[in-house]
Each structure stands twice: as C-alpha cells, then as structure tokens.
Amino acid sequence: MAKTGYILLDSAEQEKYFSALRSGDRFISARVNRKVSLLSVRRKKGVSQKSLLPICASVWNNYTDAQKLAWNTAGSYCNLSGWKTFVRDKCYRVVNGLSGEAVPSIYHQGLVGELRIDAPADELKIFQPHPYQYYISQKVTGSKSMRSPVLVTERLFLPLQIGLSYKSSLVKTQSDGFAKFYAIVRRLYQGNNLDEILSIYIDLQSDWKTVTASLSYLLGQYTSYVLYFHLYHLTGTLLVDNIKAIHSSQNWARDPSCQDIHQDFTLAFYQVPAHWSALILPEGSFFESVYPI
C-alpha cells in the first residue's frame, strides 16, 4: 500500500503552486501534472486555426442591435448571454455541417431533447425523480473541468408548476395513443400514501410551442415528486426543451436546457441520478440530445 502525506501551503505558496501545477482526474489518474501555461508559436497557430471564435466574432459584429437583442432574449431562457448563446449555436451548426446562422428562438436554444419511436416499438417512457434529498454533479469553483458530487435538499412547496417547449410529429398506432409530460406528487393523507398527477397532454402534430400546468393545493403532507415523459401507442419524434419544475421560486428540473438528457454518471458519481432514466425503452425507441435541423 502506498504511503501518502501532505503539507499546508500559505497563500504565496498556493499562488505559485497552482500557477505551475494541475491535478489529474482524481478517480482515474490521481496525480499532479505540469500546467502548460506558455504555448509555442506553432501551438499558438494550431489553437487559433482550430478556434471558431474568430468566425463567430466576425458574424456577431455585423449583427444589428435588433439581432443581438433577439439572441439576448433567447439566451435568457437558458441563463446565457446572447453572445454565448450565439457561439454555442454556431459551433453546433459547424459540427453538424450546416451553413449560415440560425434564427434565435425563445422555444429552444442549442441542443434539444429528442424522444423517438420507430416500428416495431410504439411506446417510450422516461422519468426524473425528485426526492427530498439527492446528489447532483457540480463544477468545482476555481477549476476548469473538475466536478464534485453535491447533496441537494429539495423541499417541495406548492404551488408546483411544470412546463416545456416542444415540437411534435407523432402518429397513433392504436386509437388510445397519447403523449404527455406529467408529474406524480407523493402525499401522505390520513395514514395513506397517495399520488396526485399533474399532466400536460402533448399535441401529436405541432410546431414549437410552450405549455405549462400548475398544482396549487393538496390535502395532507406532500413529500416528493417524479417527472415523466410517456409516449404510448405512437411512432414518430418529439423534440423538447426548456423543461420546468418550478416551486419555491426555483426551477428544480435537472438539465432543463436538454444539453445531455441521456447522461450517465460513473465512478465516484455513481450516487448521482441520471438526468433522465428509461422506464420503458423497447428496441426501436431512444432518447438523446440533438441539434434541431
């Protein structure tokens, strides 16, 4: 077994230490590496040639004030500035081989969640639990990429508002087919565990739109809730973004901008629940984050 030790650094030593050294992945490669702070002329040239920022800046600087305002408005829905929203969108377009620039939208920004069902499948159901306490992956302050599991306490206080923006192209395979986004709220009343369902039914054929629903009052003690997407006896595609689960003046939905709805956590993050988990996912159905074309 390796023998380890530690020393305490004062503020001056810490500044020198972190300016020259960096930590490797503490779960896979727990070691200290040299920080490359100075780039050679050749490496500087390579970095600048790979960067898309000069292209983005050229386009952005030619935008009118009205166009920049439109991007700022779109960015407010995903907590980003107009410039950052534009850069992210432009990079996705380059990666997907798309020319030109997108029109900023208040319904979706960057990636969106895609729920798709192809025959022979005709059902898909995913869920996101919101118990009283759970872990999330949070960026470590002062680092570029290091993250840490953080315990979150979510006390549910009514009213609860759920909502989303979506675009649908779905076809029934049977007459009872439906698509909905809903929350099941668990409550305790007169010694019984009861479920209250707050639902948003999704139009099977619709361009981008935003819908919400609210639950203001329940008898008994409400404790937790679970969000669901359920596509039943359908085939086709549902695109979603800007997911909401608002209570206590905060949106508690994890990954509300749908940047990685099929993310799995591993290693020391095993206790962090996935953004969305599959409950019913037969062959021919899938859910993933995509750039809407």
Cβ neighbours for 38, distance < 8 A, ≥ 6 positions apart: none
Of all residues in the chain, the percent with pLDDT exceeding 70 is 87
- What pTM value is reported for the model? 0.81
**Mean pLDDT score, 9-17:** 75
Give pLDDT, residue 14: 72
Q: In what order do the strands lie in the sheet with 277-280?
A: 192-201, 178-189, 221-232, 123-130, 277-280
Phi and psi, residue 268, nearest 5°: -70, -5
Residue pLDDT, tens place only, 249-262:
999 999 999 999 98
Structure tokens at 264: 């799995």
Higher pLDDT, 12 or 69: 69
Q: Is the pLDDT of residue 27 over 70?
A: no
Amino acid identity of residue 268, one-letter, is: A
Residue 48 pLDDT > 60, yes or no? no
Instruction: Name the nearest CA neighbour of 143 among 49, 24, 275.
Output: 24
Asked which of 85-89, 182-186, 259-263, 265-269 is least confident by mean pLDDT, the reply is 265-269
Indicate the SS3 state at residue 104: coil
Average pLDDT over residues 168-195: 94
CA distance 265 to 277: 12
Query: Is 90 exceeded by the pLDDT of residue 50?
Result: no
